[in-house]
Amino acid sequence: MNDQKICDEVEAVASVLFADALDEYSDLRKVFGRMTDWLAVDPKSFQDAYVYLCIPKLSSPYVRLQILRADFLRKETILTSMQWFHIAMLAGSENAEIDQSHEILVELAPAIVEKVVIPFLIDTVKEEWDPMSLRQTRHLTTFCSLFEKLPNLTEKSKQFNAFLNAIRERICDCISEDLFMPIFMPNALEQPICRQFHDRQFWTCIKLIKSINALSPLISIAARFELVVEKCVNSQCVMALRTGSKNDVTAERKVRGLLAELDDSLLKMGGRTSFRQLIGTLELIAEEQSKAGRSFHKEIRKFLEKLER
């Protein structure tokens, strides 16, 4: 209810944002038209005045307004389908005197993404994004799917690095705040309330791992390994598996759920040393599953053999 009220208030303000603007500045297409006309008429003064460096800032209110209205965390939105992006890609196309391969025109959309879109995303990640929401994470990844194709979004980009750091910090906060793994005495887990809480915390961790893995097109394998293996698996999941039941179907479901999230790229990144705690825990569970006459121990041993290769 409160979120909807805030959205309505923002939309009301946004709807009159350009109400008092002159007609020639009321639309992004017209703003770009004036800039490209200047480039066509007097390219030297255009370059000398460093106008090309100011264009992303000039476009900022138009672009941010469109992203705000898109509400991309809740609604699947593709960056390249947004109106401002099409306008930027077609900037200068109506002026026959401008070479469409001019570097200023070619670099316009990528520059806006780096200098306008990404700062907006940093604020969104810090203030709105919930890493525990797999849906929001998938929408974030979809919105950013263009990034890997843009040549200016590399480790040299200060803004892009700040965006990736914001994602990492938000996930780390989530781990600290939401992934408390209780250590119960064996007899305490016989009580339904304790057992349910213990199980819920384990599956909460798996949910976060799924969310982190959904970011794989965006974050590096090294970053994903740190967040998934070092911060979730080794520090949370292993503890839950060691302190919980080991010889029943509940243990099997938990192990299956965890192993399903450890793809080959993560396994190759770490090797046996990084998974030492997990290996010891799985060996223990396999032994208990075997003693209980359950065949699942065979699947565990196959996975352990995979780690040995």
Give the CA radius of gyration of the chain. Answer: 26
Nearby residues of 91 by Cβ (< 8 Å), 6 or more positions away: 32, 35, 36, 105, 108
| Average pLDDT over all residues of the chain | 88
Q: How far is CA 211 from the centre of its chain?
A: 8
The span from the CA of 92 to the CA of 197, in Å, is 60
Q: How far is CA 44 from the centre of its chain?
A: 41
Enter the tokens of residue 73.
């965390």
In 10 A of CB 50, how many CB atoms? 8
Q: Please give the average per-residue pLDDT across 170-174, as a whole number.
A: 96
- The more confidently predicted of residues 6 and 241 is 241
Exposed e or buried b per residue across 96-107, where buried means at least 16 C-beta atoms within 10 angstroms of its C-beta: eebeeebebbeb
Query: Residue 9 is inside which H or E element, if any?
Result: helix 2-14
The span from the CA of 297 to the CA of 180, in Å, is 28
Residue 38 pLDDT level (bands cut at 50, 70, 90):
confident
- What's the angle, vertex CA 22, arms to CA 21 and CA 26, rounded to 5? 65
Is residue 151's pLDDT more than 80?
yes
Region label for 112, one of left (φ > 0), alpha (ψ between -120 and 50) or beta (otherwise): alpha
Enter the tokens of residue 78.
């593709």
Torsion of CA 129, 133, 136, 141, to 10 degrees: 90
**185 CB-side CA count, 13 A:** 2
The pLDDT tens digits for 59-76 are 998 999 899 999 999 999
Enter the tokens of residue 257.
């759920």
- In this prediction, residue 28 carries a pLDDT of 86
Please tell me what DSSP assigns to residue 114: I
* Residue 177 amino acid letter: E
Is residue 119's pLDDT more than 80?
yes
Is residue 265's pLDDT more than 80?
yes
- In this prediction, residue 282 carries a pLDDT of 96
The span from the CA of 231 to the CA of 209, in Å, is 10
The span from the CA of 38 to the CA of 146, in Å, is 30
* pTM, two decimal places: 0.87
- The more confidently predicted of residues 197 and 12 is 197
- In this prediction, residue 22 carries a pLDDT of 47
Is residue 12's pLDDT more than 60?
no
Enter the tokens of residue 140.
């974030």
- What's the angle, vertex CA 146, arms to CA 144 and CA 151, rounded to 5? 120
- The more confidently predicted of residues 187 and 139 is 139
